[in-house]
Structure 1
């Protein structure tokens, strides 16, 4: 068989094994727990098998390799997302906003997911990812976008949400390793920050305006600002499409 004819391998393209003592669902659930506690670098088939009280061979009956396991865990956490059923097309903005916040919350619960989204390949065949995509596309098309443009709208919104949430998750992971609260970290950095900004009045004024605000609320406000400006742009685009 020529290299070009070799089928693309994915966990979603192979039939599932039935009536095994160790199920795929058990494997995936334990893998997510391991990733949440110890991060991506701790995930291996051997380590996972040990946590499940089974040899790695038992896992290989369900997943061919670690890449396939990543496909499964990504789809699993996508199953946590809440995407309302398409309703009144006029409510498209509120629906997309709700979905965006759900994606952000998922990434913050599972910081490792942002690292692997670029390598999942055919994870888009996963049932939860497809369910999310179907509902989002229905909302965007119902708002007035054509089919081809709807996919671009969805991709653009998700790119913003995942990009912002990835930076936020990395910051929170660093914070957890430090053993400090956000407020404690900010206070400890204050003297150095003031010295660094001494000759930069605009930066100093900007930081002064945020001083004393709750860090968690500030992070959410920053996320929401960008999301709302993106939705503003989509609303303008819809008006342009409506007027031809």
Structure 2
């Protein structure tokens, strides 16, 4: 490599080590890192803390993962493997399939809420094998529906942007609840007097708030998410020819 060129700082841009110590593989490092993140959060993750959990020194980890940034790339791609994207089958059912994929992505983020705080620092995440596979399957759904390849890519990105945007705030809210030690219903009940006072002089807000009191909080979050997905798909469907725009 020429002296004036620096290596691309991504785990996906360099060869995987050909030989790994049986007791400390990259897969084991990633699995343990995800467990640490799920239980203690992103603030607790360091090469030293991970090495301690694995019973190995940080130096041993560096044989498999160059630095913490590479580790983040690996764990993000690993959890993207949990996402489920249906096969591209009957074009008439493309909306249901895309909706299922969007819900699966939301569920993945809510299982691993720390992911929303690292999505801006994952380098070449799109080169990861799981994210690449999920992108391929989503693109197949949109193309089967009748979108041209270029617009299928734009449609996929619009959907993912919506899901990540919605689940970022939802994951932060649920993480706050977890730290409080209260369940969602109890938390909202404790906030009710303050919320009613704040909405007293705002009748439209007060009406919406009153209507939501009769529903389970989780149901409200799911309905809000699904409403956004449906409206995005409504807009995308107008881009299809009348023949292809079947549900």
Q: Smaller-chain TM-score range? A: over 0.9
State the SS of the aligned residue for 1:6. coil
By how many angstroms is 1:34 displaced? Answer: 0.4
Q: Which residue of 2 aligns with 1:209?
A: 211
Q: Which residue of 2 aligns with 1:8?
A: 8
> How far apart are the structure 2 equivalents of 1:242 and 1:198?
48
Of stretches 68-77 and 189-198 in structure 1, the one that deviates more from structure 2 is 189-198
Of stretches 93-102 and 196-205 in structure 1, the one that deviates more from structure 2 is 196-205
**Structure with higher helix content:** 1
* Gap change, CA 1:227 and 1:203, over 3 Å in 2: same
* Gap change, CA 1:193 and 1:41, over 3 Å in 2: same
TM-score by length of 2: 0.94
Aligned residues: 242
Q: Which residue of 2 aligns with 1:66?
A: 68
Q: Which runs of 4+ in 1 moved over 4 A?
A: 240-243
> How far apart are the structure 1 equivalents of 2:63 and 2:122?
20
String of CA shifts for 1:71-119, please: whole Å, max 9, x gaps.
0000000010111221112221111101000000000000011111121
> How far apart are the structure 2 equivalents of 1:19 and 1:208?
59
State the SS of the aligned residue for 2:8. coil
Q: Is 1:193 aligned to 2:199, yes or no?
A: no
Q: Which residue of 2 aligns with 1:30?
A: 32
Q: Which residue of 1 aligns with 2:129?
A: 127
By how many angstroms is 1:209 displaced? Answer: 0.9
State the SS of the aligned residue for 1:228. helix
Alignment match of 2:160 (pick from 154, 158, 161): 158
Q: Which residue of 1 aligns with 2:57?
A: 55
Q: Is the 8 A contact 2:20 2:64 kept in 1?
A: no
Of stretches 192-201 and 123-132 in structure 1, the one that deviates more from structure 2 is 192-201
By how many angstroms is 1:153 displaced? Answer: 0.5
> How far apart are the structure 2 equivalents of 1:241 and 1:28?
46
> How far apart are the structure 1 equivalents of 2:243 and 2:135?
23
> How far apart are the structure 1 equivalents of 2:86 and 2:35?
27
Alignment match of 1:94 (pick from 81, 90, 96): 96
* Gap change, CA 1:44 and 1:183, over 3 Å in 2: same
| Cα-Cα RMSD | 1.6
Structure 2: segments with no counterpart, 5+ residues: none
Alignment match of 1:182 (pick from 174, 181, 184): 184
String of CA shifts for 1:141-192, please: whole Å, max 9, x gaps.
1111111111111000000011111111100000111111111111111111
Q: Which residue of 1 aligns with 2:143?
A: 141
Structure 1: segments with no counterpart, 5+ residues: none
> How far apart are the structure 2 equivalents of 1:77 and 1:217?
25
Q: Is the 8 A contact 2:47 2:61 kept in 1?
A: yes
